[in-house]
Amino acid sequence: MTLISDTIFAVIDTETTGSYPTKNRIMDISCILVKDESIIYTYNSLINPHQHIPEFIQNMTGITDNMTINAPDEYPVLQDVYDILSQKSVCFAAHNCNFDWSFVNESFKREHFNNLDIPKLCTLKLAKKIVSKNIKKNVGDLANYYNIPIINRHRAFGDAYATALFFIEFLHILKDRYDIIYLEDLINFQNIKKYAKVKRLNLQLREKLNGYLNILPQSFGIIKFIDDNKKIIHIAKANNIKDIFSSYIEPSEFTSPKTINILNEFNRIEWTEADSELETNLLFYDELKNYLPKYNYIPSLSKINNFEQEFFSGIVLLSNSAQEKTIDIFFIYRSRFIKHITIGIKADLTEVFELIADIYYENKYIDLAEDNKKDYFKIKIVNDWLKKYYQAASIIKFSYQSKKTFEDDIDNKIKNFYNNTNQTESFFDFEHDA
């Protein structure tokens, strides 16, 4: 049996000149490597298909004949992709896997590559089994559900990157609610045609759950399920507390024995709201570590603590999705989350500059960073969050420049925020473009 944490998932998306692998060709391909719920590498390239791109496909993807005429031919790009997929413990993954695999595999055959027999995973099949029935299962709607920004929808990189990110969310759900930790069990789970139903909830419990649903907030945060002995038996994290609780009490969730056990054993719930997804993830980790709930998957901290991490210091600007013309500002020091504030795009920046001085130049928050110095899992959480939003954020790296230079850079980025969000500074060397 192969642990999911030891598997490299090659999340691939292709844009093609049509729907027939033997007749049409790949014109854009991306591969995002996911290991242990983190993105570790990205690959992207246009391909010269040596055939006309139909107008409706040009309109949908934005890829034109002029863009591909000077792109690499099929063979060198496929060689790169083949080398990626030939690595040990790789699983091919895609949204509507049969489509992308049929094109990739047919291209390999055409260029006389050896047959590649690797596991295949379909994130669309997984979505249909574990995502709320009220959510559409296309890439765009799933990305929106998980608060994932997509830059260039219907381009291979944008769609593949978003798919990798919600696939990481799926892996967390599959571990936490279904106890799936092996690749073989994951493959079997996606292929199950019908669920084995477990005992339904009684009417009294159903009314109790609906009562909670009516009062829960639609905000970031966590939910704690507490039993008769006041013991926390399960913790759930959410970008929307009400929505995640709703997903627990949907009939489709009753195919998971763990979910039904949680609902039958809990006496009450408590919830804690957070201001952002990053704060939710850090709060969730702290609560897991403090309470070790019996119905949660607890990550292996010893494994995390032994690997090297890149460190990022600087600020991250993100558009606040709940309020127009406001910006969320996250202050990060050596990949430790220090502070988060929300300001208007025309707000006075006195508070921002004061925090810059306190955090980066006067080290007034150094104790907070030092307290977390050996907590590499928190560093991983921050780094993964940065990778998730690097396309949609404006990121200003702190490189020990003068305070005035740093402030001027931030002032300029805030004033021109909505024009600058696709021009972020790279903070990790995890990306490769062909």
What is the per-residue pLDDT for 300?
65
Using CA atoms, how far residue 307 sits from 40, 312, 376, 377, in Å, is 13, 16, 8, 10
Contact 101, 57 (CB under 8 A): no
Query: 396 in a domain, yes or no?
Result: yes
Which tokens is 239 given?
Answer: 């970008």
59 domain-assigned: yes
Listed residues 278, 299, 320: the one ending a domain: 299
Query: Residue 262 forms beta bridges with which residues?
Result: none
The answer, yes or no, to whether residue 210 has pLDDT greater than 90, is: no
Segment 402-416 shows an average pLDDT of 88
Residues 12 and 159 in one domain: yes
**Within a domain: 295:** yes
- Cβ neighbors of 345 (< 8 A, separation 6 or more) are 325, 326, 327, 414, 415, 417, 418
Verify that 122 and 237 share a domain, yes or no: no
pLDDT digits (tens, 9 = 90+) for 141-197: 999 888 888 877 889 999 999 999 999 999 998 988 888 999 999 999 998 865 555
Residues 33 and 92 in one domain: yes
Same domain for 30 and 173, yes or no, is yes
Same domain for 179 and 154, yes or no, is yes
CATH of the domain at 77: 3.30.420.10
Residue listed under structure tokens 């709940």: 322
Helix, coil or strand: residue 182: strand
For residue 33, give the amino acid letter: L
Residue 52 belongs to what domain range? 4-191
Category of 354 on φ-ψ map: left (φ > 0), alpha (ψ -120 to 50) or beta? alpha
Residue 427 is assigned to a structural domain of this protein: no
**In terms of domains, do 144 and 90 share one?**
yes
pLDDT exceeds 60 at position 74: yes
The runs of H, that is alpha helices, within 111-138 are 123-130
- For the cut 80, the answer to whether the pLDDT of residue 271 exceeds it is yes
Same domain, 34 and 174: yes
Q: Per residue in 306-330, pLDDT tens? A: 455 678 899 999 887 677 788 999 9
Cβ–Cβ < 8 Å for 116, 90: no
Q: Return the minimum-mean-pLDDT range out of 103-112, 157-166, 370-379, 394-403.
A: 370-379
pLDDT at 424: 44
In a domain, 425, yes or no: no
Residues 315 and 286 in one domain: no
**Residue 144 and residue 95 share a domain:** yes
What are the beta bridge partners of residue 416?
A: none
Of 147, 163, 191, which closes a domain? 191
Which of 18-22, 49-53, 212-216 has the weakest average pLDDT?
212-216
CB–CB of 298/292 below 8 Å? Answer: yes
Residue-wise burial string across 320-348, b where 16 or more C-beta atoms lie within 10 A, e elsewhere: eeeeeeebbbbbbbbbbbbebeebeeeee
Neighbours of 171 (CB within 10 A): 21
What average pLDDT does the structure give for the chain?
86
Q: How far, in Å, CA of 71 to CA of 46, rounded?
A: 6
Residue 44 counted as domain residue:
yes
361 or 192, which is more confident? Answer: 361
Does 267 share its domain with 289?
A: yes
pLDDT of residue 432: 37
Q: Please give the tally of structural domains in the chain.
A: 3
Is it the case that residue 56 has pLDDT exceeding 70? yes
Q: Name the H helices within 73-155.
A: 74-85, 97-110, 123-130, 139-145
Under the banding of pLDDT at 50, 70 and 90, the label for residue 434 is: very low
pLDDT exceeds 60 at position 202: yes
Looking at residue 254, what is its pLDDT?
56
Kind and range of the H or E element at 337? strand 336-344
- Would residue 218 count as lying in a domain? yes
Q: Mean of the pLDDT values across residues 293-314?
A: 72
Q: What pLDDT does residue 425 have?
A: 46
Question: Do 361 and 287 share a structural domain?
Answer: no
18, 127: one domain: yes
pLDDT in tens, 220-254: 999 999 999 999 999 999 988 998 888 888 766 55
261: domain CATH number is 3.40.1440.10
Instruction: Report residue 267 as tokens.
Output: 């006496």
Q: Tell me if 175 is assigned to some domain.
A: yes
Looking at 76-90, 255-269, 289-303, which range is the least confident one?
289-303
Final residue in a domain of this structure, among 250, 277, 299: 299
Strands 336-344 and 326-333: antiparallel
